[in-house]
Structure 1
Amino acid sequence: MAAGHPSQADCRRGVRAVLEGMPEGSLVLAAVSGGTDSLALAAALAAETTAAGVEAGAIAVDHGLQEDSAQTALLASQQCIGLGLEPVAVVPADVAATGEGLEAAARDARYAALADTATRLAGERPHIVLLGHTRDDQAEQVLLGLVRGSGARSLAGMPAVLTREGTPFARPLLHLPRATTEAATQAWGLVPWEDPMNADEGFARVRARRALADLEDRLGPGIAQALVRSADLLREDADLLDQLAESSVPATEPGEDGQNTVAVTDLEGLAPALRSRVWRRLLLAAGAPAGSLTATHVAACDALVTEWHGQGPLHLPGLRVQRSGGRVTIAPATTGQ
């Protein structure tokens, strides 16, 4: 499959960079929704497979959120088969309603379905799943983080490589603008599916996409690229702070009914940027759901150290946190204190 258009070469280079790090015989799977970005990803993977010495396939996830979702997933899989990818699987995702909203629930269900299918198809072989996020997706992610008042980790955007459900994922197109994947998809003669949710302003990401376009119109081009550059710089800072926080987590003393206590003196000497990260690790280790733990929750816990005036227990998602004298007790919400 020749890459006659520059956009095709750009997509292939991104995929090639990931494949060069995979052992020969690995299974590499593209997550394909049928949209422009994922089809460009699938085509680039198919074009690079032989030279890389890997087996390349695709997974189309049916979220079941739309009336024709099964047909859409089937059509996406057929285009992948037409590109020469094998194996190609169509799998359902169980989207369970959560307090985080439909987008977050669908994302979690998608990762779970992709990881489970990749593990099953790969067997004992090394494997990885490729995601089709672009530079525009990254800019939208950072803009949403700014609007929400999130910390450095959120503003750092999406990582190029991550692990979910024990499965490695990579984003080979994260450095490319959406215009490149659109041109590549057209050059490869593929027919993308237009997700009607991309026009629904009930979703925050759609509003962010349109707001970003407005900013480009008003302030000039390059806003998306600047947001992504800022995210790259913040990611380096956040990575360093996370490493320092990991080594600064104090020892806890176990108590009854799943309780853990930590000495106030072990926390109060930490710099605020480290202490907030240490608090988050302590709370997650005690059983707080990651998706429900907010900066407000962490700040309230920190006040038990920095602004102690005898306040009562804090009721966090899944936890009860209380200071008594020189120690803070972190316990499951179902236990008494």
Structure 2
Amino acid sequence: MSGPHPVVAAARRAVWQALSDADVPTGRRLLLAVSGGSDSMALAQAVLFVAARNGFPVVSLTVDHGLRSDSRAEAEQVAEWLVQYGVEQGLVRTVDVSGPGGPEAAARTARYTALADAARSLAGTDGAPAVVLLGHTADDQAETVLLGLARGAGARSIWGMPVVGALPGAEDVIALRPLLELQREDLRDGLRSADIDWVDDPTNDLDSNWRAADGTVLRRSAIRHRVLPELSRALGPGVVGALGRTARQLRDDGTALDVWAQRESTGMGGQLAITYLRTLPVAIRTRVLRLAALAAGARAGELSTWHLAHLDDLVMGAGGGRGIDLPGGVRAVQRDGRICFDGVGLEGVDPVDRPSAGRVKGR
């Protein structure tokens, strides 16, 4: 008797490895995020196999974004499929995607909020939320890296997504992405080998009526249908995997730098002496400044590379009590040979020396 399709076996191994890496105890409930697309159906196929053999109860959640008249019925159909395949319960939640930040960001925020709420509602007797499993693939990782490159927001923006991490916007909820090294077309071959259906969401197409805030094609759809195919034609079929490997290497290096910066920050005990900060490599110094700004109340999601560059200019530039305002009502200033953070905005400190939002002089 032949075994499973090779990609099906690989997906099962990846699920088990992710559960092991996250130290998920047997008996912890797993929450599958399943849209009904091929990626999430391949995830469900692998997770249900592993869970049944290792004592993990599984619930699924299908989020209906309400973007099409038939989207609710489609979501309920997906939930029924999953119950047939073996989940304890197939949940469906309809969300509002009219929030700020453009349609893609609003939909993503609404989706993660629904997942976080469901994970908490499925907490075990120890109070720990269910572990969320997401069906992001190597293709999604490549798209994420390219989006980060286009934004020019620094190395952290092209780390890509982690296999094990917190669910975005919900630090108390573990999220696993076990399929990040497997490609979409291969996973579809695995689904076909097991006669498992999936649905194709037309909102992801280039001609979808769902557009970016400026009326153009959604950024991720443009990368998926235009940029990555063109890169593959120009550079060869290994582009997707290469982008994923690059992201993983950058994440490993960046994590090591974060650990070093945390040790420096702890050793300084909150006293950010300018003379000592100047002895640190810029990659460590800016991380120390970022940690201090966050501890003072700066908003992480809005603290940009622009802010960090100008914080660093406070350290490396001339003295004179200069300062910079940060998101969250926090102000960083030079004071008595140190970098200090005040939650006082513009009041009570010397006028800010604000370079333009470009290259910092002397850098």
Query: 2:358 is matched with which residue?
Result: none
Query: 1:132 is matched with which residue?
Result: 135
Q: 2-side partners of 1:245 and 1:69: how far apart?
A: 47
Q: 2-side partners of 1:307 and 1:162: how far apart?
A: 37
Taking a change above 3 Å as real, the CA distance of residues 29 and 179 of structure 1, as seen in their structure-2 partners, is same
- Where 2:122 maps in the other structure, the secondary structure is helix
Q: Is the 8 A contact 1:12 1:44 kept in 2?
A: yes
Q: Deviations over 1:104-135 (max 9, x none)?
A: 33323322321221121133266411110111
Which of these residues, 230, 237, 245, is aligned with residue 246 of structure 2?
Answer: 230
Kindly report the root-mean-square deviation, in angstroms, between the aligned alpha carbons of the 2 structures: 2.5
Q: 1-side partners of 2:181 and 2:232: how far apart?
A: 18
Q: 2-side partners of 1:103 and 1:52: how far apart?
A: 36
- Where 2:27 maps in the other structure, the secondary structure is coil
Which of these residues, 252, 262, 268, is aligned with residue 270 of structure 2?
Answer: 252
Gaps of 5+ in 2: 207-215, 349-363
* Matching of residue 36 in structure 1 with residue 54 in structure 2: no
Taking a change above 3 Å as real, the CA distance of residues 282 and 215 of structure 1, as seen in their structure-2 partners, is same
* Matching of residue 112 in structure 1 with residue 130 in structure 2: no
Q: Deviations over 1:255-299 (max 9, x none)?
A: xxxxxxx44234222210001111211222222222211101110
Q: 2-side partners of 1:69 and 1:333: how far apart?
A: 48
Q: 2-side partners of 1:138 and 1:305: how far apart?
A: 36
Q: 1-side partners of 2:302 and 2:143: how far apart?
A: 22
- Where 1:122 maps in the other structure, the secondary structure is coil
Flag as ranges the 4+ runs of structure 1 deviating above 6 A. Answer: none
Query: 1:217 is matched with which residue?
Result: 233
Q: Is the 8 A contact 1:315 1:333 kept in 2?
A: no
| CA positional deviation for 1:66 | 4.4
Q: 1-side partners of 2:196 and 2:82: how far apart?
A: 10
TM-score, normalising length: structure 1? 0.87
Q: Is the 8 A contact 1:265 1:326 kept in 2?
A: yes
Query: 1:59 is matched with which residue?
Result: 61
Q: 2-side partners of 1:163 and 1:42: how far apart?
A: 20
Q: Percent identity?
A: 41
| CA positional deviation for 1:327 | 3.0
- Where 1:321 maps in the other structure, the secondary structure is strand
| CA positional deviation for 1:58 | 1.0
Query: 1:317 is matched with which residue?
Result: 327
- Equivalent residue letter for 1:211: V
TM-score, normalising length: structure 2? 0.81
Q: Is the 8 A contact 2:28 2:124 kept in 1?
A: no
* Matched residues, number: 327
- Equivalent residue letter for 2:102: G
Bigger drift between 207-216 and 117-126 goes to 117-126
Taking a change above 3 Å as real, the CA distance of residues 30 and 186 of structure 1, as seen in their structure-2 partners, is same
Query: 2:354 is matched with which residue?
Result: none
Query: 1:258 is matched with which residue?
Result: none
Bigger drift between 34-43 and 180-189 goes to 180-189
Taking a change above 3 Å as real, the CA distance of residues 334 and 307 of structure 1, as seen in their structure-2 partners, is closer
| CA positional deviation for 1:169 | 1.0
